[in-house]
Amino acid sequence: MKIDIKRIDTGEDEVILRYKELTPKVKRILDALNGENNRLLARKDDKQVVVDTGDILYIESVDDKTFAYTEGDVVRVDNTLQGITEELDDIKFFRCSKSMIINVDKVRVLKSLSSNRIDATLENGEHILISRTYASDFRKLLKGGAPRE
């Protein structure tokens, strides 16, 4: 994908996106430009709630149920991790294990562990292990590269 970015001194901001086919990557860019996928529909105490994705620390699957964790709340999401991964912004959220997705923006400290794993400390002090299967892709993401597509 070719990217052309120009800073202007006057006039209105403008974004032009040209594509041959509406691929998932192009759709994610369009959604981000339109401000979509910034919220996730969830359940708490038998009520539907809307969670701002920017507030999510991580999303975890436990016993075939999916939960989103924020600084002070846990809500149940009616979707699988795979479904959520497809919905969310690939740059901000990263699949760090078979049962978990983390918000990369909420990671504060990283520590390399044996067996090529990574201990990620989140803003709230919680430690999340990034499994060796996903660790190399996480390192690529942090260096500005794209993880596996």
Q: Domain residue spans in the chain?
A: 24-142
From residue 47, how far is each of 42, 55, 135, 146 by CA, in Å?
A: 8, 19, 36, 37
Phi and psi dihedrals of 137, rounded to 5?
Answer: -65, -35
pLDDT in tens, 69-113: 999 899 999 889 988 888 775 668 899 999 999 999 899 999 999
CA 58 from centre of chain: 9
| CATH class as words, domain 24-142 | mainly beta
Q: How far apart are CA 117 and CA 95, in angstroms?
A: 14
> In the beta sheet, which residues pair with residue 120?
110, 128
Q: What is the model's pTM?
A: 0.73
**What is the structure's pLDDT at 89?**
59
Instruction: Report the sign of the C-alpha dihedral through residues 120, 122, 59, 85, in that order.
Output: negative
**What is the structure's pLDDT at 149?**
47
**What is the structure's pLDDT at 146?**
59
What length does the chain have?
Answer: 149
Phi and psi dihedrals of 87, rounded to 5?
Answer: -75, -35
pLDDT in tens, 106-147: 999 999 998 899 999 999 999 999 999 999 999 888 886 655
Mean per-residue pLDDT for 5-33? 83
